[in-house]
Chains A and B, each alone.
Chain A
Amino acid sequence: KGKSLYNIRPKHDSGIKAKISMK
């Protein structure tokens, strides 16, 4: 259970996650 290999930020309304979740 090492440290995370990626950074997490708050989800942004114009970010890719928001775009994809609308698909």
Chain B
Amino acid sequence: GGGSGGQPEALSLEEILRLYNQPINEEQAWAVCYQCCASLRARRGETPTARLGAAAAQLRVWRDGAVTLEQDGPDRPPPPAADKSGRLHCTEMEVIESLGIIIYKALDYGLKENEERELSPPLEQLIDYMTNATETDGSRDEGYDALDEGVEDDNDDKEEVEAIHSYKDVMKLCAAHLPTRSEAPNHYQAVCRALFAETMELYTFLAKIK
């Protein structure tokens, strides 16, 4: 039981799932995915130094609707510094795969092992693309720096994405889910902001009852 004043600025996806004791809905999945890729894009220079796990505790939803993906917490021993190829950090596609798994598990939360949730085909396809990302093409692992810096230019956002190679591709697919793609930043931020606010409201309510 915390004090009355200091509300947290962020909640982990794990905390959100536990509090509601139910999976996230599809709109929240699209939103978390978009927002997380937006923050990962903004921080591309700071690639995680070790392979990410795929735990909901690593994904944080912030009060302002931002979503971040952190490395494992301090309670987990750090994995070996380099993977089998000797790389010292995750590739963009490995991070995307982890994110896809985290989001799928959040949609699957509470279901029995022999049960499967029926997802809408576009969302299932998004997660399928994300979680197969490392198998489809590893050729662009490290070469992103000079390749797509012009992404704020929206001209190419109308093309269809048939495979995922980057955070930007994930964001394009999420934007294509909306009636108006240009609404994506505001819409998805609002969905995540609401997810945080509603969870905090529930948290406060439950704390009062206790």
Contact = CB atoms under 8 A, between A and B. Distances in A.
Given A16-B104, A23-B54, A7 B117 contact: yes
Interface residues of A, number: 14
B108 interface: yes
B124 A10 contact: no
B116 interface: yes
Given A20-B101, A20-B104, A9 B116 contact: yes
B115 interface: yes
User: A7, A9, A16, A23: which has the most chain B beta carbons within 10 Å?
Assistant: A16
A16 B127 contact: yes
24 contacts: A5-B25, A6-B25, A6-B26, A6-B117, A6-B118, A6-B119, A8-B111, A8-B118, A9-B116, A9-B118, A10-B115, A11-B113, A11-B114, A11-B115, A12-B116, A15-B116, A16-B116, A16-B127, A16-B128, A17-B116, A19-B128, A20-B101, A23-B101, A23-B131
Interface of A: 5-12, 15-17, 19-20, 23
